[in-house]
Each structure stands twice: as structure tokens, then as C-alpha cells.
Structure 1
Amino acid sequence: MNVTNGGDKMEEVAQSIKAAWTAVEESGVPEHMQEIAFKEALGAVLGTTVPAAPRRTAAKPSGAGGGATVTGIDGDGDGDEPAVLTMDEDEVMRAVSEETGVPVEKLEAVFHVDDGVVKLNGPSARYGSSTADKARSIALIVTVVRKLGMGQSDTPYTVIKTACDSKHAYDSKNFAPKHMPNVVGCVVKGDNRNRRLEAKGAGIAAFSEVIDKVLGAA
């Protein structure tokens, strides 16, 4: 019996577990999603597949395109080999509803999730009275949904730009220097092509008000 090799193997496993848990803690994944994220992270570190909890079939709202596929633990788009977390659309809605207090019915009226992408419903005019107002509302919605519902701690500007484009709310001249730095309760991370937006407590608290504004209830 090779005791030394056995001890080395146990130490390697222990370090892998520690690394996986550290990745989950640093990612900002909501507490109710940490167990799933840890299994995915540990599988990635060990190079194995950790069995996930059974998935539920989503009851999709009109126009929805399926479950959400979340790539990576930290969502920073750095090109690393990430763990892949797949969630049904109803799981995303439920998670966001639980964290913000906004009923699922309201969330479904404002957005749906199509292949891991948050897509906004309704006419552009609902999101604000000006291009800047619309861009900031859209940025907050997309960033909060990705953080609370998908475990993505921050959202790349490119993702927000696409959402703004869909509602004719993208102003190339002012988007990065003026619109994104002034999204309520959010902070800008990174620089140049790697800029990202992260929703903090104040942004999450403002989410319900923005949803009501889009629905005409504010």
C-alpha cells in the first residue's frame, strides 16, 4: 500500500474542493444557487461531471424560446474553460421573483429568456421617455436578471448593447461614457472592450420600481 500517494491524492482533492468553493464565493452567486454552482465548479476543477438536480420543464410565456444556458461561474467573458449551468426559464423567473419580491406574472410581462439571453417584451416607449432613460432601464433589468436568475455577477456592455438595440435605445456616442455609468445602483467594472456592469444592493432594490414603470404602474 502506497500511503504517500494516497495522502497526496487526498490533498489534491481537498485543494480542488477549496478552489471550487472559493470560485463560488467570489462569483456573487445568490445563496439559493450556491449548491448547484459548487457542483458545476467542482466538476470543472476535477475534470469530471457532477450530477445535477433534476430539471423541470418550463411553462414558457408567449415568444419564449426555452431554458437559459449560463456559461461560466463569474460571467466575466475571459475565455477560460468554464462550467456550464443550465436552468429552465421558470427557474430564472422564480429566482428573480424570490430575490426582488416582484411577482413572476409581472416579470413575464417585461422579459423572457431565449437560449440564455434576456429579451425584453413590449414597445420601446415603455422603457423611458428618452434614449438615456430607456438605456438605463434596460441595463438595470438585464443586469439584475442575469445576476439573480442566472448567477452572472456582472454583465458585459456588449450584452446590454444588444438589448438596447432591440428597443432602439442604443446611442453609440453616449452609451459607454454617459448612460452606463449612471445606471442606478450599479457599478462599472473593467475597461475598454472588457467593461461590465454589476448591480449592487441599491440596483436590486430599484428593480421593482423599474418593472412597474415599464408596466405603466409607477
Structure 2
Amino acid sequence: MRIDIITVLPELLKSPFEASILKRAIAANLVAVHFHNLRDFTSDNYKSIDDTQFGGGAGMVMMVEPIDKCISSLKSQRSYDEIIYMTPDGETLHQGIANQVSLKENIIILCGHYKGVDQRVRDHLITREISIGDFVLSGGELAAAVLCDAVIRLIPGVLGNETSALTDSFQDNLLAPPIYTKPREYKGWKVPELLFSGNLPKIEQWREDEAYKRTQKLRPDLLDD
């Protein structure tokens, strides 16, 4: 998988990809992540990427030309399955979207700034708009990092255990069941005895039942789906 990220602050975005699982995935050539500074595609000496709104109004708007030039340059080198714009008014990211995007071969992620991008970018260049929640950040870089983390961990070979991602919360519209590790007892707090029984069918049924109970208590809306 190849991910090309268009940003005005590449230095802000790089650090999450230089540690932990994302770093190992890149080192193992399971994913390639490239950062493209939008200012490299400007046409004036000031490397301007934003301007005032037509019709007046507070806040600056990212211009269509540099974004179009950057995307066109990338598309001239390869085909892309998705061109994603990170925006608060996009579809809210959930596990299903992460699953879908993880199956793509090449994607572009555009990070917004200021009041957002010229609407013509959204109308003619973007194929999908994704939000990480109903709130506004100073830019799309952190949201892009969240999306990448959610997607990359699903790529086969990235996690040590291939089935680990499949048992995460939300994969089957249920929250994950309780999990335990050593010690068996701590301060009188005990691990359920069933987990030491070796009876795998009963353990799996217990986990399924507990997942349903947790979901019913904490996120009943998921059961409505």
C-alpha cells in the first residue's frame, strides 16, 4: 500500500510514522508513506497556498491551483484508488471505513487548513471526505495520522498476530470483551476461573457474551446497527 499525504506542515505529521507499529510497517515495506509539501506547488515567490474568501468573511481559504498541481503530479505517476480530504464535515471515521481503505493499493490524503479548501477541490478532485469527529482542529495532519494508524494496522503482516485486528472493538459492531494477563490474582482482584479451564469453546462463548454485555451497557447504539 502507498499513502501520499499532502500537507503544509510535513514536520508536524512525520513523527507518528517514526515510531512503533507504523515505523515497523514502513521498514518492512508493507506500506510506503510519502509527504508532499503543498508550498512546493505554488506559483508565486511567497509560496502562497491560501487567500481571502470571495464574498467576504473571516478566515483564509486554501487555493485550488496548488492542490490541483500536486494531485495532478501524483496522478501522472500512478493510479489512485481514493483521494481523501480530512474535514470535520466528512463521514465520521469508523472501523468499517478503516477496513475499506486498508484494501486500497494507492491513496492520497489531503490535509486541510484555515477555513478549509476552495469548494472546487471538493467538487472535482476529492473522491472521499473523512472526519475523525464533530470538532475542529487547526489542521488535518493529526486527523490524517489517526486515519493512517487505523488503516495500516489492518494490513496483513503489520501486527504480530494476524487475528489481533479482527478481534478489536467495532469489527463486528461489538465492543471488545474484558481481557486479562498475569498475575492471576492481584490485591484480591481475581481473573475469571473459566479462562484457565482450557475449554476453548466455552471461553469463546464467554467472550462473545461479555462483548455483548459491554456493548449493551456502554454503546447500545451499536446494537441498533
TM-score between both structures, scaled by the size of structure 1: 0.22
From the CA coordinates, give the structure whose radius of gyration is larger.
Answer: 2
TM-score between both structures, scaled by the size of structure 2: 0.21
Name the structure where helix makes up a greater proportion of residues.
1
Name the structure where strand makes up a greater proportion of residues.
2
